[in-house]
Amino acid sequence: MRRIMAALFGAGVVLLSIFASTGTGSAAEQQPAIIGGHNATETYSWMVALSNGCGGSLVSPQWIVTANHCGAASSGRVGSTSHSSGGEVLRIDRRITKPGTDLTMMHTSTASRQAPVKLATTAPAAGSPVRLLGWGCLSWPSCSTPNTLQEIDLTVLAPSRCSAGGGTSTDLCVSGDRAHSACHGDSGGPAVVGSRGNWTLAGETHGPGDNGGECATTTLYTGIAANVSWIRQQTGQ
């Protein structure tokens, strides 16, 4: 089962590091971000830029959902469309991973003032629209990264379409091609459903959905609906 790793941002250069995955997995690969998207059309109060280059989603005042293969992060910037400024920066003091999955939650030392995202309780149906968010590569194999959050609207596929990437029936599979895809820079970040100002977290970025390449392919997301009880247990909700 393939895993993807975080791109580290600095001095205008993306440094790619490979972590070992946990769960049932094998070797990690680099992570996805957004190809073919555009600047964010709204400020997502719950969007998180982690200090290690991964994305995340604020699901309660002191908890962030992200990917286990991202490893550790010291802080997260919450509620800004800029990767390097704005919003609020919260220190991360511990993390917990659901065994056998790529799903990790990071706890912050202080509570965020930003509004958390809602959690999906049912998986979106194949054929329905879904929005991906991230700060990663704008193209592949050449890679340039934006400071402004990118978004792209794609389509939910049947989970079986991502089985080559290790997806199961409880995961979220999202469409993609060479011009419209997740790519390096967005592991742990969100796939959301809904409309402006009213979004629900449906998936957490896990890796490529097939064996067609590192980017410019379908993308596999850990399904939130299948894990919502565990998430709420951690947050105390």
The structural domains of the chain, ordered by start, are: 118-226 (2.40.10.10)
Q: What is the percentage of the chain residues whose pLDDT exceeds 70? A: 85
Q: What is the percentage of the chain residues whose pLDDT exceeds 90? A: 64
Average pLDDT over residues 171-199: 90
User: Which pLDDT score, from 0 to 100, does residue 3 have?
Assistant: 39
Give the least confident one: 23-37, 62-76, 111-125, 198-212: 23-37
User: Which pLDDT score, from 0 to 100, does residue 156 have?
Assistant: 98
What is the distance between the alpha carbons of residues 98 and 118, in angstroms, rounded to a whole number? 19
Eight-class DSSP state of 126 = T
For the cut 50, the answer to whether the pLDDT of residue 54 exceeds it is yes
User: Which pLDDT score, from 0 to 100, does residue 220 have?
Assistant: 93
User: Which pLDDT score, from 0 to 100, does residue 228 have?
Assistant: 98
For the cut 60, the answer to whether the pLDDT of residue 121 exceeds it is yes
Residues 6+ apart with CB under 8 A from 10: none
**pTM of the predicted protein model:** 0.84
Taking CB atoms within 8 Å and a gap of at least 24, the contacts of 23-29 are 23/68, 23/99, 23/100, 23/101, 23/102, 24/100, 25/1, 25/69, 25/102, 25/166, 26/1, 26/2, 27/3, 28/3, 28/4, 28/69, 29/2, 29/3, 29/4, 29/5, 29/207, 29/208, 29/214
User: Which pLDDT score, from 0 to 100, does residue 18 have?
Assistant: 26
Average pLDDT over residues 100-119: 97
User: Which pLDDT score, from 0 to 100, does residue 186 have?
Assistant: 77
Average pLDDT over residues 137-165: 90
User: Which pLDDT score, from 0 to 100, does residue 8 have?
Assistant: 32
Given CA atoms 52, 54, 57, 59 in this order, what sign does their dihedral have? negative
Residue with tokens 């957490």: 204
For the cut 70, the answer to whether the pLDDT of residue 122 exceeds it is yes
Is residue 18 within 8 A of residue 184, CB to CB? The reply is no
User: Between 178 and 223, where is the model more confident?
Assistant: 223
- pLDDT averaged over every residue in the chain: 84
